[in-house]
Amino acid sequence: MKAAAVHAFFSTLRAANPAPVTELEYTSVFELLAAVLLSAQATDVSVNKATRGLFAVANTPAQVLALGQAGLEAHIQTIGLFRSKARHLLATCRILLEEHGGQVPRTREALQALPGVGRKTANVVLNAAFGEPTMAVDTHIFRVSNRTGLAPGKTPLEVEMKLLKRIPAEFLVDAHHWLILHGRYVCKARSPLCSTCAVVRWCDTGRKIAT
């Protein structure tokens, strides 16, 4: 994708969805952190179904810790890898209480020091909770970035760095959400909806299909 097209690409996505948000359900920064931690290799839909019940009885680090391994597993057993995720979430809650006064830290270093929290999870929290212009490259963003030519790369980190460099500052805070939603509902892994895609004219692959 040519540099001149990047602004038009994101202007079009913004016009269609001026205030994008994550599809994970949460009412606090801790709930967001817990939901994102649980969402690894799982859909937002499956996580939301589990956390509705979980957060109704435990939505603070102390309350989740009080559930214990078995109690927490009972709430999240419909999510893939629930046993290891339960261990990570409990360990994270313990660290939040012991080292951060029960609050979710606002730095990447502190977030990534939490069990089960990698760079992508930290980026989601920094962006959605604290408004930082981060780019959490999941499978959707990785695919869209490569397929459109926006920021081709062989690894998520390479794509992330290119996106941060190529996306104009006015779009950076919301770009993560636009790209995820575009990949989830339009630029799908199988059978992308190029014929109805609003940004196909600037997409390297879409233009070839159209011609």
Which residues are identified as catalytic?
A: 120, 138
Q: How far apart are CA 69 and CA 195, in angstroms?
A: 48
Q: How far apart are CA 9 and CA 11, in angstroms?
A: 6
